[in-house]
Structure 1
């Protein structure tokens, strides 16, 4: 079969010579043998269409969340994606656009990012937002690094162990390099962060996720009070929750950040995502990444420009606020399209639908006790909750055999989390699917 990027005669040898290698095998020597594909089981001389047919058969063996009843979540959520989002994103002027360094030829991209910032401010009730980050993990890191720049005399960061384990792992990596001390807060019997161990007089920042990784909604007013003079940071992994739950901005938080994936971005094998970051106006010059501003041109017409872009490509590295060299503008555009279509009322209706279906499922599962046990039955949740189970991986395997992706085993996320299954419900789940899960758990749990 002719590959579309098949090198011509002599090309491979010239590449190897340039790299100082004798064979292609040397190029891949660093890849462990056990994870290599090796030779594909295809007979020689197959016609191109025959090879395609075999590849399609192999691809059909992959199971997606659309082919089974899915209750997967744990930081990546399935919501309805309007067809118009793909239509806009596939336009060449957006899909192939590079960084909008030249505003005179980048007005469309700049305006889209400006609108994204506006939506973030509206959802978080914060005055300023940046032009997106990679994902929720990098957004959390940037919040802590900003706090360290603002309060260089303090090095202790009190962070809830109930932020997403991937976010926490990323924060640990950056904190070590920045010589920040992470003090990880445990949780109480209600599945909320134990705030009693916070010492605000020693803290540069206090970081809490709500809803947290166990699905429980934190008491943000209490978190803000416990933070004292330290920078208070709310992390949001399921952004549609902002359509129903009061955000950190309403409680006086200094930063509200996280991931906007839930607004229109499909799971896509874990990425790409789009991080968001909103903060107070007085911290504007210490905010990481980019900011798109609105101004007027020489003719008095509205125009958009990059402003206060204090990142390492624009100024001296020693004075940069971030080493993240781009923003996920295409993903931010997708989020902006979805939010534009939903509007204020639609965002709330989406959140209410997800919450209502989750509450229906929780109520039905509670009737299966003690065979099925909710981890925190009295605690408020949004659209995700934890079912306790000693062998969650085995339970999920049995559910999968019945065509149900029952959730995510906490053992796959972090060893310190309670053993069980995180179940996420969105507007995409029907009542019939919820009933199927209840029936299956009643037999298999």
Structure 2
């Protein structure tokens, strides 16, 4: 069995594919992963035993550059063209293609599967892109939804039109080069009739929605067996559990002094700090004894040894912290991150920070709450409720479907 996994996006779009790839390989499948050419992505996929087939520009470079919203259609055309070139070569002779990541990239990958006549599965790592009557769609950069419109059906119609305006020409021009007919609605083409939702059902419960036959597998997690760096282990052993501060793939343009603000707010609670550099390249002005700065690190191991996790609200970081039983302060920046912040607050396992730029006062107040006994107890209880078998469920469903006609069976 041969499977190709395709994505374009940040660490949160690549890490789950590493988890699925590992489980597929355990079942004897040959796996190929098409993803951005960033070194940390290649290293993580290597941990899963699969090579990275690079597609498109560096995701980190693109994110850090903060391109203007007006360039989105052009960048979409480039992403789709890159998918057609790389994924077509990777998918030759494969049995099934899994597409996720940025919408235009997923549309390109699905077009490749259509051209080659192989099965495909569309996957999302957060449910906000799936039309549902109980919530608003996400805003695209530079194309805000009208605040005066409250009818969710109208808003989802506007979302479909906006998606077509941004990506329709780029997709259909590239499809024509493959000899494929044009797509009428890009969003609906990508979602398909039976999308997969690779999130934890406790953290991210899916509510049945007419017209959408969603398969929720659980989050796709690659167990991380890497040891923590010796210096970090010594720091952790030298005192009470510190507070972790890190914002993953976010450049933190709205809060360039966030490291200094966070350190002072954590100190005010009598705690030490672990600062993760991330794509914002966070650093400290000096080298204080109560702080430790890390680069790429095993979060699964680290989060089990901290008093709280201050982060941006990516799906992967939220799930990892919840699995570790660590209270969370979520400082959302973009896209689905306010949703995850809200879920953390609703579950009582942390605080949703108001806005993307924390101050000493706002972060101090949030930390006082999450370091309280009640939040710590609820976070610890949550650790035992988060599923750990999502990638195994997805691998079983995927391989069971290969070579069999009909629908995918439910997770």
Q: Same fold (TM over 0.5)?
A: no
After TM superposition, the score normalised by the length of structure 2 is 0.29
Query: Whose radius of gyration is greater, 1 or 2?
Result: 1
Structure number with greater CO (CA < 8 Å, separation at least 6) is: 1
After TM superposition, the score normalised by the length of structure 1 is 0.27
